[in-house]
Amino acid sequence: MKLLHCADLHLDSPLRGLSRFGDAPAESLRGATRRALEQAVDVALDTRVSAVVIAGDLYDGDRDDYQTAVFLQRQLHRLRDADVRVVIAYGNHDAESEITRRLSLPDNATVLPSTAPDVVTFEDLGVAFHGRSYPTRAIDVDLSADYPAPRRGLLNVGVLHTSLNGRPGHATYAPCTLDGLVQRGYQYWALGHVHMREVLERDGVAIVFPGNICGRHIGETGSKGVTLVEYDGDQVTEVVHREVAPVRWHLLDIDAATATTPDEVTEAVVERLGQVRAAEPAPLHAVRLRIAAGPRAAAQWARAREQWETQLRADAAGSDADVWLERVDVEASEPPTSPATDDALAAVAAAIAQVRDEALGRPIVDALMAGVRSRFGPQRDAAIALGALGLDQGSFAELIDAAEALLAAELGTGA
């Protein structure tokens, strides 16, 4: 017998800030969570699972688009048509959702109550699901402490949306401990809330965060998908990850320290991306690059950054356009130094530090702004608001950073 365990669908989660990227494959990214759920249902049907358990966060809390609900209904009906039972525990995001409060699910789906823990037993499938949904977003107590006793002769599955004993990047909701979960006497714990896949085992009990079904930004890298659980009687015999995400996010560090030109930097990146494509096939790779280039190449890149980055994006995309560069950061690798170079770099650092100083730097910005004001007159504020001019203290600091990097690279190479 088989179960499919998933969590953190975040259907139609908005991709904030996407409009900043003119070359972003917006439609592919915006529809990624839907396609991931379709793929998850495909896996359930292809592997002939008996039940699907969803451990929270089907939606984002502020979602009120009923087209999202209609899409979910279609996927649940696909499972219903194959006689697959579905058990759902709402998490912190679902607790706030208007969709959750108004949506009626098909009769193959059971939502665990939010008022108290309960057990959903399928004798014909040999499995019992124990759990509860969130009544409100912020739950700071151990919900699992009151879960029902295990049912003899069945596979007992605990369903819980939790941060366990804490996970970086995730709010501390429904905190609990591994020992506490093991002591409940269940054979498998279907957890949700943590977006990174994690499989824990203690005393023969499998405790699994499947991760979210699709990464949505650079903070959610790696393979994303669902967990297939095979069991024989009251014993788990296999726990397997199946990827379903149509987009995979990567944070790649590129060593191009020997590159002396931007073309060589591009060649190093394209070679690395080819390795990624071969090792981790996906319909779309969304990539952030951190490139350590040779000092001379970095200096040339800084002089014509837009030109070189545009060329890199075109070369990286390839004929299938299956790579999108979300961001490209190029920094100079450490150049060989000499006493004279060290002195020059120290002088640059001291001068830059003076410019960065608020008391000294502010007059420089004010003087530059005065020039802008005299040129653009009354339209200056409107132009800045529209982004045509970005000469404020924040953008001035970015210019200083770029100037310091360029000077350091030039001094390091003798260019």
Mean pLDDT, residues 323-343 taken together = 78
Res. 156: pLDDT tops 80: yes
**pLDDT above 80 for 87:** yes
pLDDT at res. 167: 77
For residue 408, the model assigns a pLDDT of: 64
pLDDT at 157: 98
Residue of 256, 261, 248 whose CA lies nearest to 272: 256
105-149 pLDDT per residue, tens: 899 999 999 999 999 999 999 999 999 998 887 888 999 999 999
| Average pLDDT score over the chain | 85
- Residue 340 burial class via C-beta count within 10 angstroms: exposed 0-12, middle 13-18, buried 19 and up: exposed
**What are the residue ranges spanned by the domains of the chain?**
2-243, 248-332, 339-413
pLDDT at site 118: 96
Predicted confidence at residue 70, as pLDDT, reads 87
Q: Backbone phi, then psi, for 197, in 5-degree steps?
A: -60, 140
* 14: pLDDT strictly greater than 90: no
CA distance 309 to 381: 30
Model pLDDT, residue 27: 82
- Checking if the pLDDT of 415 tops 50, the result is no
What residues form DSSP beta bridges with 289? Answer: 252, 328
Maximum mean pLDDT: which of 91-100, 107-116, 367-376: 107-116
Burial of 159 (0-12, 13-18, 19+ CB in 10 A): buried
pLDDT at 261 over 70: yes
- What pLDDT is attached to residue 137? 79
Whether the per-residue pLDDT at 368 is higher than 80: the answer is: no
Contact at 8 Å (CB) between 293 and 265?
A: yes
Confidence class for position 359, pLDDT limits 50, 70, 90? low
Reported as a pLDDT band with limits 50, 70 and 90, residue 34 is: very high
What is the model's pLDDT at position 353? Answer: 75
DSSP state of 211: -
At residue 367, the pLDDT reads 72
With cut-offs at 50, 70 and 90, classify the pLDDT of residue 380.
Answer: low
Q: What is the pLDDT of residue 62?
A: 60
pLDDT one-digit tens code per residue, 264-280: 999 999 999 999 999 99
* pTM of the predicted structure, to 2 decimals: 0.79
**Is residue 346 very low, low, confident or very high in pLDDT (cuts 50, 70, 90)?**
confident
pLDDT at position 16, please?
Answer: 55
H and E: helices and strands count for the chain: 13, 15
285: which strand partners?
Answer: 248, 323
Confidence of residue 61 (pLDDT cuts 50, 70, 90): low
What is the average pLDDT across 206-221?
94
pLDDT at 222 over 80: yes
Pick the range with the lowest mean pLDDT from 24-33, 124-133, 197-206, 391-400: 391-400
Taken as a whole, the chain contains a residue count of 415
Q: What is the pLDDT, as a whole number, of residue 140?
A: 87
For residue 209, pLDDT beyond 70: yes
CATH number of 2-243: 3.60.21.10
Distance separating alpha carbons of residues 196 and 200, to the nearest angstrom: 13
